[in-house]
Amino acid sequence: MPWVLHVDLDQFLASVELRRRPDLVGLPVIVGGNGDPTEARKVVTCASYEARERGVHAGMPLRIAARKCPEATFLPSDPAAYDAASDEVMGLLRDLGHPLEVWGWDEAYLGADVADPHELAMRIRHVVEAETGLSCSVGISDNKQRAKVATGFGKPAGVYRLDDDNWMAVMGDRGVGDLWGVGPKTTKRLAALGITTVGDLAAADAEVLTSTFGPSTGLGILLLAKGGGDTDVSTEPWVPRSRSHVVTFAADLTDRAEMDAAVVELARKTLAEVVEQGRTVTRVAVTVRTSTFFTRTKIRKLAVPGTDESVVRDAALAVFDRFELDRPVRLLGVRLELAMPHAPAVTTAT
């Protein structure tokens, strides 16, 4: 049978830093912002396992992380180094000769029609560690979703297999939120139906699920609970569907002119990257987070896809104008959704 292997690099950002700072191996390391734990409104991007054991996790404000783990070493985020390390690993995986589908910096899927997927998984771990000094975990299954779940059981630096033989024994009593693709909102709605475990969901009435969630989502989560999922591993290069930038302000903004200026600068900065990549903007989205941490995103489709700076800027400001700004603004973000390369689009002059 064809197998799907999910490869996930362990504590990737922290591991890249530890590779160039071996003196920190075995110690709590926290990556984020400029590496200054006193810096306002910066968050943890990645924490080493030693820091995680002390309650530090991604997304946590650096100041709180410093209180939880004062002995940690704080390091600045270095995207260029992570790009290089990721390219290094993905190149090694491609050299194994199996179809590879890259999902980001630190994870990818391999499709392999082999007799012994465990042997291949161990080879992957050995090659990655020997050539790069980075460790990875590998989940084995016959589809992407189940392989992704399997990886969680293999972490760190391990291999785990989930298939029809052990799926329900391993997952049946676990909460539905342990399924990849079932988030908090869906979990809450399922609980209202009396469905709390994977086993409950697998045994649920399909008509009840489709009437509650719609035919696509209802049947989709039922398939996940039964251990099903996507089996195709694409060899097409991974192409981002959007580019974005966000800024968290040192002090909440209350002046509308300052907010507009920030939106314009975010749009300009993001568009410059889009133009550099030869891509085309189709929609413009703006995200606002207030001082109460209420976060909302609004989006607008461009009349004609393109890269005209004034058009993108005006669209971003128009979207921002749709927000009711009754609280100080803590964060602003601009996301530009892009036409995919195979889709024809009209490009206007900059």
**Average pLDDT, rounded, for the chain:** 93
The arithmetic mean of pLDDT across residues 174-181, rounded, is 95
Please name the residues in contact with 142: beta carbons below 8 A apart, sequence gap of 6 or more.
1, 2, 3, 4, 163, 231
Active site residue 107: yes
Residue 300: what are its φ and ψ, rounded to 5°?
-140, 140
Mean predicted confidence (pLDDT) in 250-264 = 95
pLDDT of 350: 36
Residue 347: pLDDT over 50? no
Judged against a pLDDT cut of 70, whether residue 3 lies above it is answered with yes
Residue 183 neighbours by CB under 8 Å, 6+ apart: 177
The pLDDT of residue 1 is 53
pLDDT at 323 over 70: yes
Determine contact, residues 158/187, Cβ cutoff 8 Å.
no
User: Can you give the pLDDT at residue 235?
Assistant: 80
Q: Which residues pair with 7 in a beta bridge?
A: 108, 138
pLDDT at 342 over 70: no
Reading the block at residue 64, the tokens are 């709180």
Residue 53: pLDDT band (50, 70, 90) is very high
pLDDT-based confidence at 303, cuts 50/70/90?
very high
Task: Tell me the percentage of the chain whose pLDDT exceeds 90.
Answer: 85
Under DSSP, the state recorded for 22 is G
Whether 236 has a pLDDT exceeding 90, the answer reads no
Query: What is the reported pLDDT for 237?
Result: 67
Q: Among the options 17, 50, 101, 107, which is catalytic?
A: 107
Rounded CA separation 49/155 (Å) = 11
Q: What's the pLDDT score for residue 343?
A: 45
Q: What pLDDT is stored for residue 277 in this prediction?
A: 87
- The DSSP H or E segment spanning 91 is helix 79-94
pTM listed for this prediction: 0.74
